[in-house]
Structure 1
Amino acid sequence: MDPHTGALAWLAQCAASNLLDRLVDRALDGPAAPPAWPRPAKTPAGTVEISVRHHLAAKARTPVIITLQEDGSRTGTAFPAVLGHTARIALPGGRYFGAAMVVDPARRTLQGIGWSHLTIAARRTSPCLIPVNRPSAPVILQLGLRKADGTPLFRI
C-alpha cells in the first residue's frame, strides 16, 4: 500500500468510527478551537493555511474533514472545516500528507476526496491547497470506506 492510500485509509477508518458525525457537526456549528498536534514538537512550530478546492459551488455550508499525517507516520489528526474557508493550524516543522473529504451529511454522500503533500517551515506560514475530485467506486473500495458490517459508509 503506497503512502497516499495508507493515509486515506486511515482517514476512512477514522470516519467509520463515528468520528465523521462529530466532525461534521463541529464544522457546521462554527469555528472551533484549532486542533492540537498529537505529539510534542521536536522542531519549532510553523503555521499552515489549508484551503480545499472543489468544483462544487455550494450555497449551504458544506463540511470538509481534513486529516494531517507526518510523512511515514501511521497516525495523525483529523479536524473539521467548511468548504471555501481556510483552516490555519500550528504544526511542528516537517513534511506532511494532508487529505480532505467533502461530505453531504444530509444525504450521506461523499462529494469529493483529495490529498496533497505539504512542507511546514519552522516559524513561517506555509499555504497548502488540497484539490478534491469526485470519487469513483474503485477508489471507495480501495480506501475501505465501509462500516463494520460491510455496508458502504457513503453513497457517491
Structure 2
Amino acid sequence: MDPHTGGALAWLAQGAASNLLDRLVDRALDGSPQSPAWPRPAGAPAGTVEISVRHHVTTKGRTPVILTLQEDGGHTGTVFSVVLGHTARIAVPGGRYFGAAMVIDPQRRTRSGPTLQGIGWSRLTVAARRTSPFLIPVQRPTAPVLLQLGLRKADGTPLFRL
C-alpha cells in the first residue's frame, strides 16, 4: 500500500473515530442519505462521478457504506454514506481522485465499535463535463490491514470489530 492510500484512509478514520461514523450509518439506515457535495468551489470545469461499491457478500436489507473521495494528493475531501448496491453521484472538478469505502454491518454494533464487513479503495480520473463511472471493490478486512491503515481510536483501541 502506498503512502497516499494509507494517508487517505487514515483521514477517513479520523472522521470515523468521532461521532461522524455513527451519524453516517444512521443516515444510511434511515433512508435519508445526504446528497454528496464537493467541499470547495470548482476551479476547473466539473464532471460527474458515479460511485458504486462491489462487495462479495450478499446482504439482506440496508447495508451502510461509508465513502470518502479526495483529490489526489489532497488532505481533505468529502465523506458520505450510501447503501450497498446503490450508486452515489457527485459533481467534482475534473482531475485525479482517490476513493475509499467501508462496508459496515448494522446488525453487529457493540460498545467496542461497529463491525467492518469490507474495506476497499481505488483511484479515478474524472473528465471535465463528462460522467465517469467509479467502482470501488471491497474485500473482507484483516487485522494487519487495519493496523497498517491506522484505523484506531485516540486511545489506541481498534475503531472496528472484524
> What TM-score bracket applies, with the shorter chain setting the length?
over 0.9
Distance 2:154 2:127 in 1: 39
Equivalence for 2:157? 151
110-119 vs 100-109, which deviates more?
100-109
Q: Does 1:120 align with 2:126?
A: yes
Residues 31-80 of structure 1, C-alpha deviations (whole Å, 9 max, x = no match): 43422211110111111111000011001210000000001101111000
Alignment of 1:50-129 (within 5 A): 50-107=51-108, 108-129=114-135
Equivalence for 2:144? 138
Cα 1:146–1:33 change in 2 (3 A) is: closer
Distance 2:126 2:57 in 1: 28
Specify the code of the residue in structure 1 equivalent to 2:156.
G
- Report runs of 4+ in structure 1 exceeding 3 Å deviation: none
Specify the code of the residue in structure 2 equivalent to 1:132.
V
Q: Secondary structure at the match of 2:44?
A: coil
35-44 vs 61-70, which deviates more?
35-44
Specify the code of the residue in structure 1 equivalent to 2:158.
P
Equivalence for 1:7? 8
Q: CA deviation at 1:124?
A: 0.8
Distance 1:61 1:36 in 2: 22
Distance 1:9 1:150 in 2: 14
Q: Secondary structure at the match of 1:105?
A: strand
Distance 1:28 1:90 in 2: 24
Q: CA deviation at 1:105?
A: 3.2
| TM-score (norm: length of structure 2) | 0.92
Cα 1:17–1:103 change in 2 (3 A) is: same
Equivalence for 2:111? none
- Percent identity (aligned): 79
Q: Secondary structure at the match of 1:28?
A: helix
Q: Secondary structure at the match of 1:106?
A: strand
Structure 1 unaligned residues grouped into runs of 5+: none
Specify the code of the residue in structure 2 equivalent to 1:120.
V
Greater strand content: 2
Count of aligned pairs between the two proteins: 156
